[in-house]
Amino acid sequence: MEVNKIYETKILRYNNEGLGVGIIDNIVTFINNALIDEIVKVRISKIYKNYATGDLIEIIEKSSNRKTLKCPYFYECGGCNIMHIDYEKQLEFKKEKIASIFKKICGIDIKLKEVNSYNNLGYRNKVVFKVKNDKIGFYKPKTNQIVDIRECIISDKKINDCLLNLRTFIKKYNDNKISEIMVRVCDNNVMLSLDKINEKYKDKFIEEFNYINSIYINDKLVFGMPSLNQRLNNLVFNISPKSFFQVNPKATENLYNRVLEYANKSDISVDLYSGTGTITMLLSKKAKKVVGVEVVKEAVEDAKNNLKLNNIDNVEFICGKVEDKIEKLKNLNVDVLVLDPPRGGSDKKSLKSILEISPEKIIYISCNPVTLARDINLLKDKYELSDISAFDMFPQTYHVECVCLLNRR
Ligand SMILES: C[S@@+](CC[C@H](N)C(=O)[O-])C[C@H]1O[C@@H](n2cnc3c(N)ncnc32)[C@H](O)[C@@H]1O
């Protein structure tokens, strides 16, 4: 095999990131935008110790599962990665991916019925656009070059309406100094948060976007409401610019319902990595007392406001890192413990403490099956993986959200 040389190969499967896998000269080769069963021509881009990567040059035999693209930016933009695959096949890919990760990392054969799916376009409620002079969009993968986009079809219509006006503004005021704009939609209200702006355009920006419900510049509220309300699972959540909130509200609502089904009634529940306290508050319906732990101060403040907003009085929030605060929880008699860490998963110290706390049930929510399986591997001697559910929180991308129910053996 040689770099830059063109080879022909058949795509046998996908890797975890949805890249087509072919074997060329006995070397496993990952090929972007290639579908299973297709015969393709590939230009080798890099050869590593155990594998190679290649770019798709020509499709010799096309799969019937290849879709006509609705997004003109797909091949350039780094946002979506499997939009070229028929949506039903995307779900199949995610189901098989989860099963193979669990088999490989934990040696567990999981029984996953389906990947629950709701809306595969227009679902995203939050987007961070990159800006440079008069360009606005997303970075090309592995570069800081902006793909100038007019519409992002996986995002909420309100985000796209806003994008059109933002685009007009930055074209008109080319020396605007903005480098990043977050647009968030909660229950049809819109929040904008810019990292910076040329002082001479600040008032103009506020004037042109005075139909927006909340505008922040450089972390300071300059117009409208400090936070937005989002209704979900019969609760109201108050969300400020820095708070984490799931990006797909419909899938989230269903995921949270599954967490509640798994949780049952309890005396003391714990919600680790609690964000704005969404799951904590849901658990409060089924527990006498719930404790949430979250590192971001603003999210904890939102969470405390959310308690008042929903008249909940059996919840306590601890602000700090789980690994630092988990000791405190050992004195409680915790029966249900929920954890929903970021992509990197939890850490060994926290997982060891969870084993010492020894709750009857652990409910582990994760957007990364690899770190989920890695962490469950450390719990599996004491806990049985009783059920797993998957939710297509991020359609058109290779990502998938899982919820696992672990019962103490
Ligand atoms: C995937 S989010 C889950 C949020 C929440 N459960 C929800 O559904 O909205 C992960 C959260 O963990 C927080 N976080 C990250 N590292 C942490 C740590 N070491 N200790 C506590 N919280 C952490 C993040 O700020 C974020 O709010």
Query: SS3 letters for 116-176?
Result: ECCCCCCCECEEEEEEECCEEEEECCCCCCEEECCCCCCECHHHHHHHHHHHHHHHHCCCC
Residue 60: pLDDT over 90? yes
Question: Tell me, what DSSP letter sits at residue 85?
Answer: B
Q: What is the pLDDT of residue 91?
A: 98
Residue 142: pLDDT over 90? no
Residue 242: pLDDT over 90? no
Q: What is the pLDDT of residue 78?
A: 84
Domain 6-61 matches domain 126-228 at the CATH topology level: yes
Question: Ligand 1 mean position to 245 CA, how many Å?
Answer: 10
Question: pLDDT digit string (tens) for 182-228?
Answer: 999 999 999 999 999 999 999 999 999 999 999 999 999 999 999 99
Domain 126-228 falls under CATH 1.20.1080.10: no
Q: What is the pLDDT of residue 61?
A: 98
Question: Ligand 1 mean position to 321 CA, how many Å?
Answer: 9
Q: What is the pLDDT of residue 313?
A: 97
Residue 325: pLDDT over 90? yes
Residue spans of the domains in the chain: they are 6-61, 103-118+248-408, 126-228
Determine the residue of 126, 186, 233, 244 to mutate for testing ligand 1's pocket, defined as the one with the most ligand atoms within 8 A of the Cβ atom: 244
Q: What is the pLDDT of residue 298?
A: 87
pLDDT band per the 50, 70, 90 thresholds, residue 101:
very high
Determine the residue of 273, 291, 322, 324 to mutate for testing ligand 1's pocket, defined as the one with the most ligand atoms within 8 A of the Cβ atom: 273
Q: Is 307 left (phi over 0), alpha (psi -120 to 50) or beta?
A: alpha
Question: Ligand 1 mean position to 277 CA, how many Å?
Answer: 10
Active centre residues (catalytic):
367
Cβ distance 259 to 305 under 8 Å?
no
What residue's CA is closest to ligand 1, atom 19?
Answer: 321
Determine the residue of 295, 319, 337, 402 to mutate for testing ligand 1's pocket, defined as the one with the most ligand atoms within 8 A of the Cβ atom: 295
Q: What is the pLDDT of residue 108?
A: 95
Question: Ligand 1 mean position to 164 CA, how many Å?
Answer: 32
The pLDDT > 70 percentage for the chain reads: 100
What residue's CA is closest to ligand 1, atom 18?
Answer: 321
Per-residue pLDDT, averaged over 26-41, amounts to: 97
Residue 349: pLDDT over 90? yes
Cβ distance 228 to 214 under 8 Å?
yes
Sign of the four-CA dihedral 405, 243, 281, 212? negative
Residue 319: pLDDT over 90? yes
Query: Could you tell me the CA-to-CA distances from 48 to 22, 26, 30, 56, 118 in Å, in that order?
Result: 15, 13, 11, 18, 39
Cβ distance 151 to 157 under 8 Å?
no
Q: What is the pLDDT of residue 192?
A: 98
Residue 111: pLDDT over 90? no
Question: Ligand 1 mean position to 122 CA, how many Å?
Answer: 25
Element (H, E) at 23: strand 20-24
What residue's CA is closest to ligand 1, atom 1?
Answer: 342
Distance CA 177, CA 165 (A): 17
Half-sphere exposure of residue 370, counting CA atoms within 13 Å on the CB side? 7
pLDDT band per the 50, 70, 90 thresholds, residue 232:
very high
CATH fold, domain 103-118+248-408, is Rossmann fold (3.40.50)
**What is the number of the ligand 1 atom nearest to the C-alpha of 271?**
6
Give the residue among 356, 365, 343 at the shortest CA–CA distance from 272. Answer: 365
Q: Is 273 left (phi over 0), alpha (psi -120 to 50) or beta?
A: left
User: Which 3 state secondary structure label does DSSP give 182?
Assistant: strand
Length of the chain in terms of residues written: 409
**Which residues, judged by CB distance below 6 Å to any ligand atom, belong to the binding site of ligand 1?**
244-246, 273-275, 278-279, 293-296, 299, 321-323, 340-342
Question: pLDDT digit string (tens) for 251-298?
Answer: 999 999 999 999 988 899 999 999 999 999 999 999 999 999 999 998
Distance CA 362, CA 292 (A): 14
Cβ distance 103 to 42 under 8 Å?
no
Q: What is the pLDDT of residue 244?
A: 85
**What is the number of the ligand 1 atom nearest to the C-alpha of 276?**
9
Q: What is the pLDDT of residue 211?
A: 95
Domain 6-61 falls under CATH 3.30.70.3280: no
Cβ distance 379 to 406 under 8 Å?
yes
